[in-house]
Each structure stands twice: as structure tokens, then as C-alpha cells.
Amino acid sequence: MKLHPSNPLPLHVQLRNFIEKRIKIGDYQEKIPSERELMDQFEVSRATVREAVSNLVNDGILEKVHGKGTFIKQAPPVQDWINRINSFTETIRETGRIPGAKLLTNEVINAKEKPLTVFQEKRLYFIERLRYASNQPIAIEQHYYPPIIGQQLQVFDLNEAVIYDLLENELGIQFYETDELITCMSASPKEALLLEVAEGTSLLVMERVLYDQLGNRIEFLTSVYRPDLFTFRIRRHRF
């Protein structure tokens, strides 16, 4: 593969972007190719390779190990304690990262399977969002709500809003407890594209039913996480 001299981006920037993309989709796992390999593959000078790699090192994506090569720097995964009711935004902020969201779906749907058994209603309000930690896609959330709650949520900007803040502060709902199930699944083509992983990659799946203080079912949530970026923790005591 060759870089494009006619491209307005300098060669070292093109190479830097290419390496970063290969890291995100998993083509490069623990380390990147050597300087010589990159020079031969892209037909560029050693100076171009070194500048591209140095930029990735300065951005915290790569780290050099003397005598061993240039390795992909692994940030510690986000850890969520499952003995508390936390929003995704709160969990991400606690790690020092910047939470983000992209609204994928916002509509009333015909209920089926698990959401139908949770709410016993044929029509539910459905919100699907791609969630980010410092601009890196980390999870896909699918929220299901009874129509009376969904109608109130749809007036807000769901790209920016913290849904749990809306439920508590705008709708006046008091959270009481959740019932949660954690399993795993293989990434579908859609999930692989959104989370920037290979199709078939193992993903963490969390299902949550949220109750208010009166025992009403407020939300059914299914979240799919990249396990290399997100983990669950629990502390138990023996009584």
C-alpha cells in the first residue's frame, strides 16, 4: 500500500492516521510493525515513519520499549461497580475520561421478547445510543420505556442528555433497585462496525430492569460493551 503525495495531508500524518485505524479495528494487537517494515510497506523514508510514530507516542496511543519495539499502550478499562445504580456518564467521568453519546434510534416500537415480558405492553418507547469514553466507542445502549415515560423523554436532546438525570430530576422518578443479568455474545456486523471491533468479537452484555420506590418497572436496558475497555466489579461480604 502507498500513501498519496497529492493528498493535502503530509505523509507522516497519513501514516499516523493509517496506523491508528489499524489499531482501532484490531489489525495491530500488541505492537506495530518495525520501522523497516513500515518503510517498505508504504515506500516512505525513515524520518516519515519516525514522525508518525512519535506523534502516536505523544498522544498516548503507542509506547516505545527499548530493544523490543513499539507497543500499543493499553489504557486501563473502565470499571463499574454493580452494587450501585450509576449512569454510564457518571461511571465514565469517575475514570477521568470524557463521556459522549450518539443517538442511533428514537422511536415507538412494537414490543417483543424480553421487553414485552418486562412491561406487558405492546408498544414501547425505544432509545438506542452509541456511547463513548474520550471519543472512543465503548458501548451500545438500548433503552425501553413505557409510553408514558417515553413521551416525556422525547422532548429532550438525547445526544447530550444524561437519561438517568432526566428521569430523576425532570420526571421526578426515584430509583430504588435494579435486577441485572450479565452475559456475553459475539459481535454482529452492526455491533462490530459501531464498536470498531472485528465481527464475532466477544462482547459483554448487561440487561437491567430499573424499579422505582413503589416497585414500578421504569426501564429495561440492554448494554453491549467492549470487554477490553469496560469491566464490572463487585464486592461481597460473608455474613
Q: What is the residue-level pLDDT of the chain in tens, covering all 239 positions?
A: 568 877 888 999 999 999 988 887 778 878 999 999 999 999 999 999 999 999 998 877 888 888 888 988 776 678 787 778 888 999 888 887 889 999 999 999 999 999 999 999 999 999 999 999 988 899 999 999 999 999 999 899 998 899 999 999 999 999 999 999 999 999 999 999 999 999 999 999 999 999 999 999 999 999 999 998 898 888 777 87
Q: Based on the structure, what is the number of domains in the chain?
A: 2
CA distances to 51, 71, 132, 220 from 129, rounded to whole Å, are 36, 32, 10, 14
Q: Are 81 and 235 in contact (CB under 8 A)?
A: yes
CA distances to 30, 34, 68, 69, 73 from 64, rounded to whole Å, are 12, 11, 8, 6, 9
Question: Which of 72, 96, 121 is the last residue before a domain boundary?
Answer: 72
pLDDT at 195: 95
DSSP strand pairing (123-133 vs 99-110): antiparallel
pLDDT at 23: 81
Question: Which of 72, 93, 116 is the last residue before a domain boundary?
Answer: 72
Strand partners, 178: 210
Q: Are 234 and 218 in contact (CB under 8 A)?
A: no
The answer to whether residue 132 sits within a structural domain is yes
Determine the structural domain holding residue 30 and report its residue range: 11-72
Question: Which of 23, 52, 72 is the last residue before a domain boundary?
Answer: 72
C-alpha cell at 27: 489489525
pLDDT at 134: 84
CATH of the domain at 95: 3.40.1410.10
Residue keyed to cell 472485528: 198
